[in-house]
Amino acid sequence: GAVVSQHPSWVICKSGTSVKIECRSLDFQATTMFWYRQFPKQSLMLMATSNEGSKATYEQGVEKDKFLINHASLTLSTLTVTSAHPEDSSFYICSPAPAGASYEQYFGPGTRLTVT
């Protein structure tokens, strides 16, 4: 199956600082990357979709200047939470979509962000 890694697995940062989360597809190329987040006891909510080499498309209510997404290669995407606030504390999960038409999607192990 598809192998996806995320780094770091957890991070604690202070308010006002920025945090970068990396997502790698280890055994396949991903032309599309989905970034989700999950607040405690809630569902996974899509934040943004990015295609390799293009600007990301953000879901309604997600600030593009706050959550910077870079999808520079077919195996690596990064999500940077800028000027983090305690309300950004959440579980962030990436989902690279394999090149070519595919319905099945696989997820990274997630990154737990805690902003103090």
Partner 1 sequence: DQQVKQNSPSLSVQEGRISILNCDYTNSMFDYFLWYKKYPAEGPTFLISISSIKDKNEDGRFTVFLNKSAKHLSLHIVPSQPGDSAVYFCAASSGANSKLTFGKGITLSVRP
Would you tell me which residues interact with partner 1 (CB under 8 A)? 1, 4, 6, 10, 31-32, 34, 42-46, 49, 91, 93, 95, 97, 101-110, 112
What is the nearest approach in angstroms of partner 1 to the Cβ of residue 15? Answer: 22
> Can you spell out the DSSP letters for 29-56?
-EEEEEEEEE-TTS-EEEEEEEETTS--
What is the nearest approach in angstroms of partner 1 to the Cβ of residue 33? Answer: 11
Residue with Cβ nearer partner 1 (82 or 94): 94
Residue with Cβ nearer partner 1 (84 or 98): 98
Answer whether the bond into residue 98 is a cis peptide, omega within 30°: no
Residue with Cβ nearer partner 1 (13 or 106): 106
Residue with Cβ nearer partner 1 (18 or 105): 105
Query: In angstroms, rounded to a whole number, what is the distance separating the alpha carbons of residues 105 and 95?
Result: 7
Query: In angstroms, rounded to a whole number, what is the distance separating the alpha carbons of residues 27 and 99?
Result: 12
What is the nearest approach in angstroms of partner 1 to the Cβ of residue 104? Answer: 6
What is the nearest approach in angstroms of partner 1 to the Cβ of residue 16? Answer: 25
3 closest CA partner among 101, 112, 98, 100: 98
Which secondary structure element, helix H or strand E, spans residue 78, and what is its range?
A: strand 76-81
